[in-house]
Chains A and B, each alone.
Chain A
Amino acid sequence: MLLNILFFWFFWPSIYIENWRNEMAKSIVIGLMVNIIFIAIYTSLHYRREKESKRFWMTFIVSMVINLIYIIFTTIKIDSEMVTDSYRIIYILNFMIAMAVWEFLLFYLASPALRAKKYFCRIHEYILKAK
C-alpha cells in the first residue's frame, strides 16, 4: 500500500501481486539509490556560479537516464506470465515519473546542505523563472 501511495500512482498490478510488489520495491530502492548517488556527486562538484545550472541539469538528467536504462532492462527480464496488456509501459512510465518527482524532492531536501549551490538545485525556481 505504502508503495502505491509514495511511488506507484497509476500502476496497479492485478495478477502476481506479491511478485510485482517485490519487483516494485526492488526498483524503488535502486532508483532512489541512483538519485542519492547523483545528488552526492553534484554536491562534490567544485562550485562555479555560471556553470552551476548546467551541472545541476546534467546530474539530474544523467541520473534519470541511468534509471531509465535500469528500468527498461529490468522490465524486459520480467516473466511474461506476470505481464498483461500494457503493464510494461505503464510500469516504466510510472517508475520514471516517480523517480523524477523524488529526485526533485530529494534535491530540494538536500538544498540547505548544498549551501552556496542551494538555489541551483530547486527545480521550481527554473519553472518560475521560465514563466
Chain B
Amino acid sequence: MPYYVFSVGGTGARCLESLIYLCAMGIYLDQPLFPIFVDPDQSNGNITRTLSLIQKYKLIREHLPRPSKDYLFNTEIIYCDEESVPDTRVIIPNLYNPNSGLDPSQNKLSHFIEYETKLHGTEYKFLADLLFSKEELNMDMSAGYRGIPSIGSILMTDIQNQTFWKELKGRLEEDTASRVFIFASLFGGTGASGYPVISRLIKNASPTTKVGGVLMLPYFKLKDPENLQKFQECLKHEKIMPNSKSFMINAKTACEFYKNNYSQIDSNYFLGDDFEHCKQYENYAIGSTEQKNDAHMLELMAAYAAIDFFNRESGNFKPFYVIQVKNPDKNDDPTDVVAEDIPHNDKEKPFEKFALLYHYINELFELIDKGNVQLLDKIAWLRDLKIDDKKVRARDIIDKKTELSSLKELMDSFRQWIYQNHNNYAKLNILDYELKLDNLLTNNPDKYKGYHISHLDTKLYDKETNQNNLLGDMVEAMSLAKITKGR
C-alpha cells in the first residue's frame, strides 16, 4: 500500500526531489513511496535530476535490507527504470507522458482534438476557434504547455484512458491505506493543468482514497521572453513562450477556482513567496535538458507538506493549508527560513546528521583514493565490522569503492541542493551554504568549530549493524549515531 506521489511538471519534479532528500535524511514514512512523473517533456532537466537522485537512492536503499524506523534511507521508493517489466509489482509507470497518444511529429493540440479531421465542418470547430488561437492550436507541445494550462488540461484527461489507470484505480479501491499526493505549480502550464485534472479523476475513481497536494504560487521569475527572442536565434521562431508576467494572473484565477471547487480534495497546501523579490532563473528554456532550475526553499516546504499529509491520521485533514514563516520578525534576516521554521518535530537534526555524513564519506573517499591502507585499517568501527562472518580490512573498503560511490554521489548532490536552496531571496538558512564544518549550523555556529570529521569514528564505534554489506552498515551506523547538543 504505497503512497503515490504525482509530480507534475518541472516544479513538481523539484518538489519530489526535496521529498527524496527528506527520505534520505531519515524523515519517516510508514509506507513506500511510488513516484509518478507527469510531464510531456521527459527530457526536462528537472526531471532527469530527480530521476538520477531516485536511482542513487534506490541503489543505497537496496543495500539496507533491514532498515528501522529512524534510519536514513528508511523509506522504500518504488521505481523501475524499464518501461514494462512483466510479473513485477510495477505495472503503473513511474513516468507518464500526457502526450503519449500523439504522433511525435504531430505533437499539437489541433491534432489531439482532431481539429482538421473530425471537427471539420462541425460546430465544435467554432468552439475550438473560440477557446484557442491559431498559434495555440499549432503549438509544439513536446516541451510542455508553455504556461497555458487550458491546453494541458485537455491532454491530461487522457490519463484515465490509459491501461495503467484501471490498475491504479483498482489498487486504490482495494487498499484504503494508500494515499495520493500531487506536486504542481499553480501558475505554469503542465503543473497547473495536471493538478485539477488528476486530483479530480482520482477522487472520482476512488472516493475513499485520501488525496492531497501542494499548489505552488508564483515563486520564481523567468527572463523576459520578448527580449530574449531578439538575441537568441533558437527562440526567434517561437510564437508562444512561457512568460512570468502572466504568473500572478494565472495564480489568482486558479486560486478562485480552487476555493470554490476544491474543498472535496482532502488537503490542498498553498505555498508561495514574495513574487516581487523572488529570484529570476538564469537559464530560460522552453523545455528539454536545458530546463534545469535551481532548487528552492519552498519546494522543501512542499515536501514537508507531503510528509504532513502522509503522517496525518484519517479524518484529521483540512481542505486548505497555508504554510508561512513563523515569527519572521524575530530573525535577523526576516526572509530567511531557519531551523525553528521547519514544520517537523526533528527540526534541523536530520540536516545536521546528513551534512556530517557528507563530510565523513568525502574524507573516507580521500583515504580510498590515496590507497591509505594503514589508516583505513585503523578505523576501529569498520575494522570490527563483519561481513559474511569475515572481518573487514582496508583492502575490502578500497574494493568496495564502486558500491560506496552511490552514497558519495548522493551526498555531493545534497551539497549542491543545499547551496541552491540558500541561493534565493528567501534562503533556507539551516546549514552553511557550502556545508563548511567550521560554521555548519546557522543557529549554533560554534558547535563544529575546529571539529575534524574523523572524530565521527568515535560516534560510529560500537554500533551494532547487521546489514551484512559495507554500504548498508555504514548507513546503519550513521543512522544509529546520536546527534547530541554538544559535539
Contacts and interface: CB of A to CB of B under 8 A. Distances in A.
Interface of A: 46-50, 52-53, 115-120, 125, 129
Contacts of B377: 119, 125, 129
Contact of B458 (A47, A119, A125, A129): A47
Interface string B454-487: 1101101110000000000000000000000000
Question: Which residue among B377, B380, B452, B455 has the maximum number of chain A CB atoms within 10 Å of its CB?
Answer: B380
B375 interface: yes
A118 B378 CA distance: 8
A125 B378 CA distance: 9
B344 to A, nearest CB: 31
Contacts of A115: 380, 458, 461-462
A49 B379 contact: yes
Contacts of B452: 48-49
Nearest to A117: B380
B374 interface: yes
B381 A116 contact: yes
Question: Which residue among A47, A115, A116 has the maximum number of chain B CB atoms within 10 Å of its CB?
Answer: A116
Contacts of A117: 380
Interface in B356-412: 374-375, 377-381, 383
Size category of the binding interface on chain B? 10 to 19
Contacts of B457: 47, 49, 116
Report whether over half of chain A's contact residues are helix, strand or loop; otherwise say mixed: helix
A48 to B, nearest CB: 5
Given A48-B455, A117-B380, 13 more contacts: A47-B455, A47-B457, A47-B458, A48-B452, A49-B378, A49-B452, A49-B454, A50-B454, A52-B378, A115-B461, A116-B461, A119-B377, A125-B377
Nearest to A48: B452
A120 B378 contact: yes
B380 A48 contact: no
A123 B383 CA distance: 16
B375 A116 contact: no
Contacts of A53: 378
Given A117-B380, A119-B380, A49 B461 contact: no
A119 B383 contact: yes
